[in-house]
Amino acid sequence: MQRDKFFKVIANKTHPNEKLVKTHCSYCGMQCGMNLRVDTSSNTIIGVEPRYDWPVTLGKMCPKGVTAYQQTNHNDRLLRPLIRDDASLKGTKEGFREASWEEAYSLIVQRFQEMQGKYGKDSLSVFSGVSMTNEKCYLTGKFARVALQTRYIDYNGRFCMSSAAAGFLRSFGVDRGSTLPWTDLHETDCLFIAGSNTAECHPTSMFRIWEVQNRGGYLIVADPRETPIARRADIHLDLRPGTDLALANCMIHLLIQNNHIDAEFIANHTNGFEEMREVVKEFTPEYTSEITGVAPEKLIRAAEIYGKAPNAIVMFARGIEQQIKGSDNVSAYTNMCLVTGKIGRPKSGVATFTGQGNGQGGREHGQKADALPGYRKITNPKHVEEVCKVWGIKPEEMPQPGVSAYEMFELMQEKTIRGLYLLCSNPAVSAPNQNFVRAALKNLDFMVCADIYLSESAEFADVVLPSVTWSEDEGTVTNLEGRIIKINKAQEPVGESKPDWLIEVELAERLGRGQYFGHLKTARDVADEFRLASKGGYADYYGATWEKIDKQDGVFWPCKSEEDPGTPHMFLDHKFYHADGRAKLCALPYRPPAEEPCEQYPLRLTTGRVVYHYLSGNQTRRIPFLRDMCPEPYVEVHPETAERYNIAYDEVIRLFTRRGEALYKVKIIEAIRKDTVFVPYHFGHEQSINLLTIAALDPMSRMPEFKACAAQIAKQPERMSIR
């Protein structure tokens, strides 16, 4: 996309005592380019300017991005470690006192060593997140395996990208969330987007998406709700939540029937066509319509448009992935590009909208229960040996694989896990089946939480450690394209807060493991060790030096050497990463969601996001503008459903499932199916919709089914007005 030649691409300084620090937004996978404005007399961040010269987002930012800078010097920042002496106050904000780092460290070391002495190394666990740089994510994996020597580590990406990862690994043998750069999007002829509320969740992709339509191309959207992109789509496939696998199989069925397939590509570059064809046979538009509720004509037209488009991109997000068959949905939608050969070339391919800022890099370098740096497997002896060389430990010292995020809470409940080091995640809001998860956190003997603010999860901790925001440290993250980019430091850490990598190094030293961590004095030291640890893995970052990232506007992995410019387009040679170089066409029979509506719970509950808040809301609920725009959760209900229940706009109703209940204001809205209700999940305590969600897990990815469960509404008795 060309900029007007009169367009000024350099951001303005607004007063003389100011410098601009080039960086990216702290929030979603778009990682929009921004300059933080820093007052040089006080060395504090005072504002933000978009970066018009950032090729992916060209100066676009969303409401979260333009206010993100307000996090750094916010009054709620944690400035010193906190210790709670009275364990009976766990689960509340009460009872914390400030402490020195040394006191906090001593207590942690004493309690961790006590527990491991009594119950074994694996009595400790680490639960982490990917709003952190690659370097921090990498070091967290090493911290768990080498400093704590435990098998139990997993992270919030399990609730986010795990189905995309599992699906892509099965289809391609590699998991890079996008096979092509975002700068291709607007040049394609057809976008097929399933389960993504793009305009609210990746808003700065929209100018490219609208451009496809402006150029005469097509937009097809599969979503139970008429989201902003669904409203302007050429075809809106308004399916019942949890029925994507039928829809995707129907698309393949029709592509085959209409001969919109690339027989040569299938023969030369894929396996599994015949088995897949057998499975999709029954998915006629009529049969699929019965399952999905989508009119047969729409299914036929959607397949025709995708099939005829010279270039097309299939895209999806959590709407299809947060299901018990999330990884099957990913492979099934990916089948669309494989049967048509619309992959492995510019302007065609498949992409998932990666969620968190470092949702891509954070899943590649060892925070997952079974993963090691460079996307290696902890179950592969050769991989273990390669990583052990960098870490300086013996292969027999490498812990076994652990369990997935939700399963860690189950182990806490049964006391197999007794201690937790939680960082960069807020599972007391964001994990499913909250009543159980909160009880599991309470059941821990000892819990540490590192965060930038006192989160709902920190309320369960014995020790809270103050970490720094993204603007007070440097490092790399990998955006939703697979492009490794650089985050720069704009300000010194507030109070006594410290970057997570430094906390881990200092703790490791005090745990007697300094020989493996003591050499890491700066973020750059961690970066250099991390690049080396990824070398030779298939997510190879070795050649992505900070200098090259700066010079090239980012580096796409794999990037194997200093001379290698990186890999913006995957599979250009039509070589996939399976041993025989072929992609896998997967045969995937349909199965319904774990919990179907019934007489007692006749509605389908689905959950997700709004543009103003980010994830558990611990960051965005503190920003005045964002809080004003969306101060509380609500339930979206179709007008006919509202009439059936005799409920009015803004009336407070009780929403309940087999697991829990909560009170929500009603928002009556035509943009939702009559059999479905939607609640955003950015709120904690008694407002959390995760009190109601189901912890049914995808057998392959261990992703919880956040997107579909059975629910019911009850009217609340009118409150007396007391004045």
Ligand X SMILES: Nc1nc2c(c(=O)[nH]1)N[C@H]1C(S)=C(S)[C@@H](COP(=O)(O)OP(=O)(O)OC[C@H]3O[C@@H](n4cnc5c(=O)[nH]c(N)nc54)[C@H](O)[C@@H]3O)O[C@H]1N2
* Non-local CB neighbours of 513 within 8 Å, separated by 6+ positions: 146, 147
Residue 242 as a binder of ligand X (CB under 6 A): the answer is: yes
How many angstroms separate the CA atoms of 177 and 169, rounded?
10
Name the binder of 607 from Mo ion, ligand SF4, ligand X, none, CB < 5-8 A by kind.
ligand X
Q: Would you call 634 helix, strand, or coil by DSSP? A: strand
DSSP for residue 374: G
Residue 185 as a binder of ligand SF4 (CB under 6 A): the answer is: no
Q: What angle do CA 531, 130, 577 make, to 5 degrees?
A: 55
Q: Where are the alpha helices (DSSP H) in 513-646?
A: 514-517, 523-534, 546-552, 624-629, 639-645
Among 373, 371, 424, which Cα is nearest to 536's? 373
How many angstroms separate the CA atoms of 347 and 190, rounded?
10
Among 475, 623, 490, 487, which Cα is nearest to 37's? 490
Q: How far is the CB of 32 from ligand SF4 (least distance, A)?
A: 3
- Bridge partners (DSSP) of residue 465 are 450
Tell the burial category of 316 from Cβ atoms under 10 Å away from its Cβ (0-12, 13-18, 19+).
Answer: buried
116: which 2 tokens?
A: 């491991």
Residue 160 as a binder of Mo ion (CB under 5 A): the answer is: yes
Binding mask 500-519 for ligand X (x = CB under 6 A): x-------------------
Residue of 35, 125, 131, 249 that binds ligand X (CB under 6 A):
131
* Non-local CB neighbours of 101 within 8 Å, separated by 6+ positions: 81, 496, 498, 506
Which one of the spans 42-50, 237-245, 252-260, 478-486 is the region binding ligand X (CB under 6 A)?
A: 237-245
* Upstream peptide bond of 399 is cis (omega within 30 degrees of 0): no
Compare residues 65 and 285 and give the one whose CB is closer to ligand SF4. Answer: 65
Residue 27 as a binder of ligand SF4 (CB under 6 A): the answer is: yes
Compare residues 30 and 713 and give the one whose CB is closer to ligand SF4. Answer: 30
Q: What radius of gyration do the chain's Cα atoms show?
A: 25
Which one of the spans 258-266, 312-320, 391-399, 413-421 is the region binding ligand X (CB under 6 A)?
A: 312-320
Residue 320 as a binder of ligand X (CB under 6 A): the answer is: yes
Residue 681 as a binder of ligand X (CB under 6 A): the answer is: yes
Name the binder of 317 from Mo ion, ligand X, ligand SF4, none, CB < 5-8 A by kind.
ligand X
Name the binder of 61 from ligand X, ligand SF4, Mo ion, none, CB < 5-8 A by kind.
ligand SF4
Number of residues that bind ligand SF4 (CB under 6 A): 13
Q: How far is the CB of 600 from ligand SF4 (least distance, A)?
A: 39
Q: How far is the CB of 492 from ligand SF4 (least distance, A)?
A: 23
Do residues 307 and 327 make contact, with C-beta atoms less than 8 angstroms apart? Answer: no
Do residues 293 and 129 make contact, with C-beta atoms less than 8 angstroms apart? Answer: no
Number of residues that bind ligand X (CB under 6 A): 63
Q: Tokens 């995020």 identify what position?
A: 405
Do residues 158 and 405 make contact, with C-beta atoms less than 8 angstroms apart? Answer: yes
Compare residues 312 and 384 and give the one whose CB is closer to ligand X. Answer: 312
Name the binder of 171 from ligand SF4, Mo ion, ligand X, none, CB < 5-8 A by kind.
none
Compare residues 25 and 494 and give the one whose CB is closer to ligand SF4. Answer: 25
What's the N-to-C CA distance of the chain in angstroms?
60
84: which 2 tokens?
A: 């709670």
Compare residues 242 and 566 and give the one whose CB is closer to ligand X. Answer: 242
397: which 2 tokens?
A: 């010292």
> For 114, left (φ over 0), alpha (ψ -120 to 50), or beta?
alpha
How many angstroms separate the CA atoms of 535 and 151, rounded?
23
Among 162, 103, 221, which Cα is nearest to 462's? 103
* Non-local CB neighbours of 202 within 8 Å, separated by 6+ positions: 28, 29, 30, 196, 317, 353, 480
Closest chain position to Mo ion (CB): 355
Binding mask 471-490 for ligand X (x = CB under 6 A): --------------------
Which one of the spans 197-205, 277-285, 486-494, 537-545 is the region binding ligand X (CB under 6 A)?
A: 197-205
Residue of 81, 141, 173, 241 that binds ligand X (CB under 6 A):
241
Q: How far is the CB of 275 from ligand SF4 (least distance, A)?
A: 39
Q: Which amino acid is at 406?
A: Y
Write phi, then psi, for 321 (nearest 5 degrees).
Answer: -90, -30
107: which 2 tokens?
A: 């207590």
Per CB under 6 A, contacts with ligand X among 135-194 are: 156, 159-160, 194
Residue 203 as a binder of ligand SF4 (CB under 6 A): the answer is: yes
Do residues 684 and 616 make contact, with C-beta atoms less than 8 angstroms apart? Answer: yes
Residue of 11, 20, 23, 25 that binds ligand SF4 (CB under 6 A):
25
Q: How far is the CB of 163 from ligand SF4 (least distance, A)?
A: 21
Per CB under 6 A, contacts with ligand SF4 among 29-68 are: 30-32, 61-62, 64-65
What is the b/e burial string over 628-639, where b = at least 16 CB atoms within 10 angstroms of the residue's CB?
eebeebbbbbbe
Q: Tokens 């066409």 identify what position?
A: 585
Compare residues 217 and 427 and give the one whose CB is closer to ligand X. Answer: 427
Name the binder of 384 from ligand SF4, ligand X, Mo ion, none, CB < 5-8 A by kind.
none
Which one of the spans 235-243, 273-281, 520-528, 652-660 is the region binding ligand X (CB under 6 A)?
A: 235-243
Cβ–Cβ contacts within 10 Å for residue 519, how many?
A: 11
Q: How far is the CB of 477 from ligand X (least distance, A)?
A: 11
Compare residues 480 and 694 and give the one whose CB is closer to Mo ion. Answer: 480
Binding mask 127-156 for ligand SF4 (x = CB under 6 A): ------------------------------
Compare residues 160 and 689 and give the one whose CB is closer to Mo ion. Answer: 160
Q: Which residues bind ligand SF4 (CB under 6 A)?
A: 25, 27-28, 30-32, 61-62, 64-65, 202-204
Q: Which residues bind ligand X (CB under 6 A)?
A: 28, 129, 131-132, 156, 159-160, 194-197, 200-202, 222-225, 227, 239, 241-242, 244, 317-320, 322, 353, 355-356, 423-427, 429-430, 450-453, 455, 467, 500, 606-609, 611, 613-616, 618-619, 681, 689-690, 693, 706-708
